[in-house]
Copies of this chain bind each other. A is one copy, B any other.
Amino acid sequence: MAEGTDAKKATIIVFSGTMDKVMAALIVATTAAAMGIEVTMFFTFWGLSALKKGGIADCERNWMQKMLGWMLPKKAADLPLSQLHMAGMGAGMMKNIMAQKNMSSLEELLQMAVDLDVRMIACQTSMDAMGICREDLLDNVEVAGAATYVGVAQDGEFNLFIS
């Protein structure tokens, strides 16, 4: 199923579409990949927003799916924070603090994951439900279903679900 069959494996399901949780997923993924583990990230439901290119490609969508497209974040940089909504500036404040501390941004972590050969899968079923088409997503992303996930997860040293 994976490239080097003897290497240790890990999987992370990214169900959440919030900046802080996707960032946590990417920090674990890139750390594990840097330690020689073959990491598969499976993006589903709200998590798909993290893989969007920005802009909305010209695909067939019904009106409800179009509405969903307008309401959801258009790309990784637009993801909101899961907490501190009231403060309004939640996500901006966090980005600010992280920049000051020289931490990697979400987009940089995504690129790092690609560079470290983290396998990125977008969930086919969620894409269909939400009206997200292949062209909406970043180039490095595979499209597959839950059976592919289960196939990899049963060989994983650790398997996380980030909701």
Taking Cβ atoms with an 8 Å cutoff, the residues of A that contact B are 8, 10-11, 13, 15-17, 20-21, 24, 27-28, 31-32, 35, 37, 44-46, 62, 64-65, 67-68, 71, 82-84, 87, 93-94, 96-98, 100-101, 103, 125, 128-131, 145-147, 149-151, 153-163
Whether the pair B15, A24 counts as a contact (CB closer than 8 A) is: yes
Q: A46 to B85, alpha carbons, bound, how many Å?
A: 14
Q: What is the copy number of this chain in the assembly?
A: 3
Q: Which residue of B lies closest to A147 (CB)?
A: B31
Q: Which residue of B lies closest to A130 (CB)?
A: B97
Q: Which residue of B lies closest to A31 (CB)?
A: B146
A62-B100, A84-B71 in contact; A162/B159 too (CB < 8 A)? Answer: no
